Each structure stands twice: as C-alpha cells, then as structure tokens.
Amino acid sequence: MDATYASALSALRSFNYDYIYNRPDSIAQGRAVIDVLTALVDHFIANPAMLPSSTNAEADPVTAAVTYVAGMTDRYAFDTAVRLLDWPAERRPLGIDVHG
C-alpha cells in the first residue's frame, strides 16, 4: 500500500475509534450486551436442565452454557433474557426489540 493510501486508512481508523467504537454510547451498548450474556450463562450453569437437548450432554455445565449462549443471535439472547430472567427493557441496547 502506498503512503497516501496508508495515511488515509490510518486517518479513517482513528476516526472510527474516536467517534464510533469508543464513544460513550457504544461502550454502554457493549456493556449491556456483556451483562445479558453473563446473566444467561450464569442462569444456564445454575439450571443445566433448561439447556436444549441438542446441547453436548458430555460437556461440563460451564462449557455447555457458554457454547449455547455463544450460538444465540443478539435478538434471541435478549428475547431469552426477557422470558427467563425478566430482563428489564431499559437494560437492553438501543435497537434490540424483543418479541412476545
């Protein structure tokens, strides 16, 4: 990559980190996702019988819970948190709507 393109790419990366990835709203969104995923993993570790039968039965409860939650889409994870954990709406990231 020539110096002109490298400089432009570096400026774009700096802009993205300053104004997109590290802005307070983005950090809060990330924290909300981490909180719900942690709560779901903790829930399934404490209640392994609630894991689907397709989950690897030979895995230890932590691995089984982490593997199951890791396979969830964002929307499904928040739907599940609302359904199983009564996850409050104000703790969901913006843009994550929950069905039924």
What is the model's pTM?
0.77
Q: What CA–CA distance (Å, rounded) separates 95 from 20?
A: 16
pLDDT score recorded for residue 55: 75
pLDDT score recorded for residue 50: 93
Q: Which residues contact 77 (CB under 8 A, 6 or more apart)?
A: 36, 37, 40, 69
pLDDT in tens, 2-45: 999 999 999 999 999 999 989 898 898 889 999 999 999 999 99
| Mean pLDDT, rounded, of the chain | 89
Q: What is each CA distance from 49 to 7, 52, 54, 72, 77, in whole angstroms?
A: 54, 8, 12, 18, 18
The two three-digit tokens of residue 24, written as one number: 């307070």
Res. 94: pLDDT tops 80: no
